Structure 1
Amino acid sequence: MTVRKRVDVRVEGVVQGVGFRPFVYSLASRLGLAGRVRNDVEGVFIEVEGALAGVEEFLTALERDAPALSEIESVTVVSGPPAGHRGFSIAAGDPAGPRRALVPADLATCDDCLRELADPAGRRHRYPFIACANCGPRFTVVRGVPYDRLLTTMAGFAMCADCSAEYHDPGDRHFRAESTCCPACGPSLRLLDARGAELCGDPVSACATLLRAGRVVAVKGLGGFHLAVAAAHQEAAAALRARKHRAEKPFAVMVADLDQAGRLCAVDGQGAALLTGRARPIVLLPRLPGAPVADAVAPGSRDLGLMLPCTPLHHLLLAELAGPMVLTSGSVGDEPIAYEDADTITRLGGIADAFLVHDRAIHVPADDSVLRPWSGGHTVLRRARGHAPEPLTLRRPAPRPVLACGAELRSTFCLVRGRRAFLSQHIGDLDDQETLRSFVEGIDHFCGLFDIRPEVVAHDLDPGYLSTRHALELTGVELVGVQHHHAHIASCLADNGETGPVIGVALDGPGHGLDGTLWGGEFLRADLTSFHRLGHLALVPMPGGAAALRQPWRMAAAYLRDEHPGLDVVRRNAAHWPDVLARTRTGLGAPMTSSAGPLFDAVSALLGIRDAVTYEGQAAAELEQRADPAESGSYPATITEGDLLVVHAADLVRAAAADVAAGIATGSIAGRFHNGVADAVVRCCVMIRDGAGLNTVALSGSVLQNALLLERAVERLRGAGFRVLTHIRVPPGDGGLSLGQAAVAAARDRSS
């Protein structure tokens, strides 16, 4: 007699929108089991019964053979008496109960859909909205959980008979794919002129014609609008730059495939893997000499930000254009990305000559993610489309729900429930009400989507940040202030699933310190609960305050003063130095800082690379670009001991100035400076290890987006016997700060 068994199975993790229910259906059917599977607010729930051996094989294969896009966090199995199910079915989603289900990130178009897109005999030939269980929009169209069509912006598109048949066919890849559609029943594409009137002809072909003619077109993507021009068209790229008020910051370039990428940049195995990953991020890669890209696309940069198409529409457009195209965020300046059709025509009407739009609404805007490879892995510079909102897992759970409000620049927020930390997509710089509105709306959406009601709210100590002001205005919550650079180190710890203590090295821009100065070149003994400052870069005045960040020559003056014998050779903006030096002597309008960011700015100005900047981090980025990676020389910095270790970074600036006066090549000077900073980091860490007995170093802060510095520091630290933690999934800059704040708030809540 065959022994029968029934089990109820609860699966949690990223298991909705990734083909998990069709997988369960196929597995149960193959094993001759009965029951049903459904999405609900916690994940996937399965009732399965049949022969004992079949049920046991089902449970084994459930995790072993799960869809590649899924990420199973837990499987809970409860046995019960057979319920008499006949056959196996997929039941309707259950929206009742506390919401714990995870929403997947948006998925780039799969190979099967690309083949269908190119098939002249197929009913979806050249249809820009092909999607299946393995690809297509997810996070940006989801209005709630469970992940079912009615809770997405596809709800208004009723499936035709053909699509419905595929949707209900277990043997079809569209089986239970919530974005399934075709030209007969799905979204449609239109090309509009600058006033919003529809243009005649095939929208994709007409758009490509406009791009070839040097026009600027706003193209609606997965998470918002991009502004596009032909990448080789100098006048078009320059016009886009002028209209967008983006003087020099590089534009990203979309290429059709890896072959086209290889004609623009040096693409090694690591670069290819990042480009072809399911997130389809922008990847910074070394630009090839003579690459056929207009000078206005990435002025002053040895790298290009490349990306591959992430939607069928982009594949079609690139095929028609027959060349790469610039694709940059649809916004003016640093405003949030535009994503609603009517608002976009208003906001971008002075930039775009035409608009390629469609009627599938975007519920949540998401900019493109940006990654940068380095010898030890890759750095996430911006975490957004393709990554958000998939959670990170904390080492230990938070006792109460947490909201962390992040920083002012590169704003993100983070919500924590239990061990899950939901880091938001990149929102932008919180310097105006429009970005603040997007920030608050994003928090509200995440709270509703994941059923989180924060009881603890973490914020930066700087009272001038709009994110801090928002936190302080909330009622009925416990507020937790977290020092900016402690949050950076905590972010690195959380990113690596660690709790500390470590030697935390925070090389960052200026941030609110505890002693009335601006910190940013810090050596900390840190864990998730607290920190102790053990050392820092020597304090230097910032003449003009924020003006010193916009005009790096001011920092060169502050570091050099009148102390260098070759001052006439290295002096920049000489006529203004007396006023700047007077500020440094009186201290009026010249706050003191230990920040590493202005140090790099000073050397950039000293070398004549960048006297004034048009975007944050420009001077330091261009200094790295000019550095000779083969340079082995290093400038020494004095380190004095006392209550705190103090690194006298002015030694590095004076050494660089001496080499400028001696006529040494810029690349060699920049290389020696980078090596000198890395050496100073290692020497400080060795001195701290000798005193504190810590052997793990965590590296964080916006300066460590510099791949050359990161490689040099990691190599030297490991050579000195240290275990080194770097960021893996979140940015080392302020885009990852909210994760660190959340981890600190949760740890303090546990210890209280």
Structure 2
Amino acid sequence: MVEGWRIRVRGQVQGVGFRPHIWQLAREMGLRGRVLNDPEGVLIEAAGDDLAGFVAAIAQRAPVLARVDAVTHEGGVFDLPEGFEIAPSRGQGAETRVTPDAASCADCVAEIFAPGRRQGYAFTNCTHCGPRFTILQGLPYDRARTTMADFPMCAACRAEYENPADRRFHAQPVACPDCGPRIWLEPGGGDAIAGTVAVLRAGGIVAVKGLGGFHLACDAGNSEAVALLRARKRRPGKPFALMGTVEMIRAACAVSAEEEAQLGDPAAPIVLLRKAAEVLPDCVAPGQAVLGWMLPYTPLHHLLIAAMGGPLVMTSGNLSGEPQVIGNAEARDKLGGFADAFLMHDREIARRLDDSVERAHPPMILRRARGRVPGTLPLPDGFGDAPQVLAYGGQMKAAMCLLKNGQALLGHHLGELDEAQTWEAFLAAERDYAALFDHVPALVACDMHPGYRATQAAHARGLPVVEVQHHHAHMAACMAENGWPLGAGKVAGIVLDGLGLGPDGTVWGGEVLLGDYLGVERRGWLSPVAMPGGDMASREPWRNALAQLDAAGLSDVADGMFGGRPLTLLRQAVRAGVNAPLTSSAGRLFDAFAAVLGFAGAQSYEGEAAMGLEARALPDGVAYPLGGTEGVIETGPLWQAWAQDRAAGVAAEVMAGRFHAGLAAAFSGRARALVESGAAEAVALSGGCFQNALLLELTLAALGDLPVLIHRKVPANDGGLALGQAVVAAARAVSG
């Protein structure tokens, strides 16, 4: 028995090479003792001369994938070995963080292209890279609790796995061609990669099984192949994601240093990059000024891109509206009508994860999924005594959030809950997260809309329910992400999105709020205008344009633009208040303006009209005016100014720029007044409209030197809603 320290390390410290890091550090410093994994993270018992220096070095020299939240220690007397050992894991349960999946590291990529036993092997990985969350079935994170349990290690892999000096020490997915998963092509035989490339070069579509599900792949440079994929998937306009090397990406897009770093992040997200050359057919992303690119992030992808010699479209393998396919039999059944061939493997996917989507300028996560989940966010000061909370999010871009131990775990993107398959995936994710993270909520939080499936599920739990108004949740999510303390002053929130039920029973979406986590008051809002046809107005932008022009006294202009539509019937419905709810939605205002600039048909995906409007906008320093005094922000002056520009023959691109500038000026002016009067201490920008980079940049410029909170790690759209709901519920619980 010797005197020493028991050292506890909490954070993202399992599955990242933390134990060999500790082993090497202890040997270097001449310590004796042991290190092991347990449900709380990493536990160290050590004795020696410089334990304080050892503790300081733990976080300072941590492995690249590790995230150390806390290192604590206490003295004691321990039965320690003479040297330093890595001991078996203890216990079950989940108080530690789970590591997200990580893109192949440089060493593993080099290995698959060099002579050796892993040359050409599609499942090469080490402690610094590879699958984590997508193969995890339970904690602690050990091979027996992953989908790699079906692949017993050969002697060579076992030797690497058991050698603390090897980069594969305790890399749970370690494998090689002799003992690990394998790939094959259906139909076909021989070399699977070569066969896949042959199908792609012939203009075919291949379903490729990846890390978190299947992709549908085609030759990105072949316009006929891209058109074929669009026709088969019935996806006429939504941009496709692309995969290629940095050199391939630079041939098509401008890439800044920040963007290249984001592409090369271990999360390997899809990054939105501005086009610089027309080297790919426009049908890849019709009418868009940006392309979504990702680097190959598994050995399989690296082998495929290298053999192809050019970029690939890599879009989610799913039926329209359904979750991404993850199983082989499911792929054959559901993707058989899309794909000419299947590049399969026999490692099971424990949970489906779409690719994350991000932007570097300004930095923002647009879709939080593979590589980012289940990373956690620290709760701000004041939430230390918060109970465990489960928040259900909204109906669109569904994602749930769990609060526990001062951390918020915002779950992965699931999709639209009105689709039956997505709803099943949502319920499965709820069970999955609860089991993996040993989460037992004391209360649940949800949106106040009674028609949302997530709201109904929250009420069905039989626990206390906190309903949070949609736009308050958006604002609170932005505050929490930025660490705004629970006891701090009030914030002015500019919340611009599509639709959210207001406490007055109308549909909100263009709001200036004043408040904190406990509550808000509405200080400004776009003048409410009818949505002719209700939900149809969200799909057909011309309906919103009709209502906006009529409200602005420009019915004659509407008659000239939309004369072939059933205008009389819709106007009668608006006057009678039949299926024409009032809304202050900024999203619907975007749709309306896109319609008057030429977006004539129905939207084939959410945000299509608004994205097109942003893509063509050319700001010229002029902003359309919006009127109003206290409360209402009148849109009539904007439409009058636009009508004058239209009559004068001003270019559509310039008018689109003036529209963006007008919205930014009007809302930032209201928020600035609240800060300058002392009513608010900062401004928070949230809601899906702030995924529009131009609107965000113009708003930030208009706010000038005011303290401004924006989204970076949490989606501004409904994908971040659950975080806001969770912290509002927690704040009310803590504050009594």
| TM-score bracket relative to the smaller structure | over 0.9
Residue 20 of structure 2 corresponds to which residue in structure 1?
22
Equivalent of 1:242 in 205, 227, 231: 231
What secondary structure, in the 3-state scheme, does the structure 2 residue paired with 1:730 have?
A: coil
- Quick check: 1:328 aligned with 2:323? no
What secondary structure, in the 3-state scheme, does the structure 1 residue paired with 2:477 have?
A: helix
Deviations 1:510-560 (A, max 9, x none): 111111210011111121111111111111011111111111111111011
Confirm or deny: 8 A CA contact 2:21 2:63 kept in the other structure: yes
What secondary structure, in the 3-state scheme, does the structure 2 residue paired with 1:141 have?
A: coil
Confirm or deny: 8 A CA contact 1:569 1:661 kept in the other structure: no
Q: Percent identity?
A: 46
What is the deviation of 1:82? 4.6
Residue 698 of structure 1 corresponds to which residue in structure 2?
684
- Quick check: 1:618 aligned with 2:608? yes
- In structure 1, give the amino acid aligned to 2:299: P
What secondary structure, in the 3-state scheme, does the structure 2 residue paired with 1:190 have?
A: strand
Residue 469 of structure 1 corresponds to which residue in structure 2?
456
Deviations 1:74-103 (A, max 9, x none): 11211112524121111111134x520110
Paired with 1:90 and 1:237, the residues of 2 have a C-alpha distance of 52
User: Tell me, which stretches of 5 or more residues in structure 1 are unaligned?
Assistant: 194-198
Check 1:111–1:664 CA distance in 2 against 1; reply closer, same or farther (3 A cut): same
Residue 618 of structure 2 corresponds to which residue in structure 1?
628
Deviations 1:155-186 (A, max 9, x none): 11111111111111222111121111100011
- Quick check: 1:59 aligned with 2:49? no
Residue 32 of structure 1 corresponds to which residue in structure 2?
30
What secondary structure, in the 3-state scheme, does the structure 2 residue paired with 1:682 have?
A: helix
List 4+ stretches of structure 1 deviating above 4 A: none
Residue 392 of structure 2 corresponds to which residue in structure 1?
405
Paired with 2:234 and 2:732, the residues of 1 have a C-alpha distance of 43
- In structure 2, give the amino acid aligned to 1:616: E
Residue 189 of structure 1 corresponds to which residue in structure 2?
183
Residue 670 of structure 1 corresponds to which residue in structure 2?
656
Paired with 2:271 and 2:639, the residues of 1 have a C-alpha distance of 32
Paired with 1:283 and 1:668, the residues of 2 have a C-alpha distance of 27
Paired with 1:269 and 1:86, the residues of 2 have a C-alpha distance of 49
- Quick check: 1:563 aligned with 2:553? yes
Paired with 1:283 and 1:469, the residues of 2 have a C-alpha distance of 35
Residue 101 of structure 1 corresponds to which residue in structure 2?
96
User: Tell me, which stretches of 5 or more residues in structure 2 are unaligned?
Assistant: none
Paired with 2:399 and 2:348, the residues of 1 have a C-alpha distance of 23
- Quick check: 1:72 aligned with 2:68? yes
Confirm or deny: 8 A CA contact 1:406 1:741 kept in the other structure: yes
Confirm or deny: 8 A CA contact 2:389 2:730 kept in the other structure: yes
What is the deviation of 1:566? 6.6
- Quick check: 1:737 aligned with 2:712? no
Deviations 1:591-619 (A, max 9, x none): 00011000011100001134421111111
Residue 427 of structure 1 corresponds to which residue in structure 2?
414
Check 1:106–1:222 CA distance in 2 against 1; reply closer, same or farther (3 A cut): same
Confirm or deny: 8 A CA contact 1:489 1:526 kept in the other structure: no
What secondary structure, in the 3-state scheme, does the structure 1 residue paired with 2:149 have?
A: coil
What is the deviation of 1:334? 2.0
Matches within 5 A, 1:31-180: 31-50=29-48, 52-53=49-50, 55-96=51-92, 98-120=93-115, 122-180=116-174
What secondary structure, in the 3-state scheme, does the structure 2 residue paired with 1:229 have?
A: strand
Equivalent of 1:355 in 342, 351, 362: 342
What is the deviation of 1:508? 0.8
- In structure 1, give the amino acid aligned to 2:527: A
Check 1:568–1:559 CA distance in 2 against 1; reply closer, same or farther (3 A cut): closer
Check 1:191–1:573 CA distance in 2 against 1; reply closer, same or farther (3 A cut): farther
Paired with 1:729 and 1:99, the residues of 2 have a C-alpha distance of 23
Paired with 1:272 and 1:690, the residues of 2 have a C-alpha distance of 39
Paired with 1:411 and 1:179, the residues of 2 have a C-alpha distance of 30
Confirm or deny: 8 A CA contact 1:398 1:749 kept in the other structure: no
Paired with 2:164 and 2:391, the residues of 1 have a C-alpha distance of 43
Between stretches 145-154 and 654-663, larger displacement belongs to 654-663
Paired with 1:473 and 1:4, the residues of 2 have a C-alpha distance of 54
TM-score, normalising length from structure 2? 0.97
Confirm or deny: 8 A CA contact 2:2 2:79 kept in the other structure: no
Residue 599 of structure 1 corresponds to which residue in structure 2?
589
- Quick check: 1:389 aligned with 2:409? no
What is the deviation of 1:300? 1.3
What secondary structure, in the 3-state scheme, does the structure 1 residue paired with 2:386 have?
A: strand
Residue 351 of structure 2 corresponds to which residue in structure 1?
364
What is the deviation of 1:650? 2.8
- In structure 2, give the amino acid aligned to 1:743: V
Confirm or deny: 8 A CA contact 1:149 1:179 kept in the other structure: yes
Residue 580 of structure 2 corresponds to which residue in structure 1?
590
Confirm or deny: 8 A CA contact 1:697 1:725 kept in the other structure: yes
What secondary structure, in the 3-state scheme, does the structure 2 residue paired with 1:89 have?
A: strand
Q: Give the RMSD, CA atoms, in angstroms.
A: 1.6
Paired with 1:654 and 1:223, the residues of 2 have a C-alpha distance of 50
Confirm or deny: 8 A CA contact 1:678 1:716 kept in the other structure: yes
Equivalent of 1:658 in 623, 644, 649: 644
- Quick check: 1:713 aligned with 2:695? no
What is the deviation of 1:398? 5.2
What is the deviation of 1:342? 1.0
Deviations 1:221-277 (A, max 9, x none): 11111110010111211111111121210000101x211110011111121111111
Paired with 1:169 and 1:235, the residues of 2 have a C-alpha distance of 51
Confirm or deny: 8 A CA contact 1:228 1:327 kept in the other structure: yes
Between stretches 62-71 and 218-227, larger displacement belongs to 62-71
Paired with 2:637 and 2:415, the residues of 1 have a C-alpha distance of 36
Matches within 5 A, 1:226-625: 226-255=215-244, 257-291=245-279, 293-374=280-361, 377-395=362-380, 396-397=383-384, 399-475=386-462, 477-499=463-485, 500-561=489-550, 563-564=553-554, 567=557, 571-625=561-615
What secondary structure, in the 3-state scheme, does the structure 1 residue paired with 2:406 have?
A: strand
What is the deviation of 1:568? 6.5
Deviations 1:605-655 (A, max 9, x none): 0011344211111111110111014x11111111212xxx11002321332
Confirm or deny: 8 A CA contact 1:398 1:416 kept in the other structure: no
What secondary structure, in the 3-state scheme, does the structure 1 residue paired with 2:521 have?
A: strand
Between stretches 723-732 and 580-589, larger displacement belongs to 580-589
What secondary structure, in the 3-state scheme, does the structure 1 residue paired with 2:170 have?
A: coil
Confirm or deny: 8 A CA contact 1:216 1:351 kept in the other structure: yes
Residue 673 of structure 2 corresponds to which residue in structure 1?
687
Confirm or deny: 8 A CA contact 2:397 2:414 kept in the other structure: yes
- In structure 2, give the amino acid aligned to 1:14: Q
What is the deviation of 1:573? 4.8
Paired with 1:177 and 1:685, the residues of 2 have a C-alpha distance of 51
- In structure 2, give the amino acid aligned to 1:428: G
- In structure 2, give the amino acid aligned to 1:381: L
What secondary structure, in the 3-state scheme, does the structure 2 residue paired with 1:397 have?
A: coil
What is the deviation of 1:690? 4.9
What secondary structure, in the 3-state scheme, does the structure 2 residue paired with 1:750 have?
A: helix
Confirm or deny: 8 A CA contact 1:104 1:390 kept in the other structure: yes
TM-score, normalising length from structure 1? 0.95
Paired with 2:464 and 2:563, the residues of 1 have a C-alpha distance of 49
Paired with 1:573 and 1:624, the residues of 2 have a C-alpha distance of 26
Between stretches 436-445 and 238-247, larger displacement belongs to 238-247
Confirm or deny: 8 A CA contact 1:430 1:436 kept in the other structure: yes
- In structure 1, give the amino acid aligned to 2:632: V
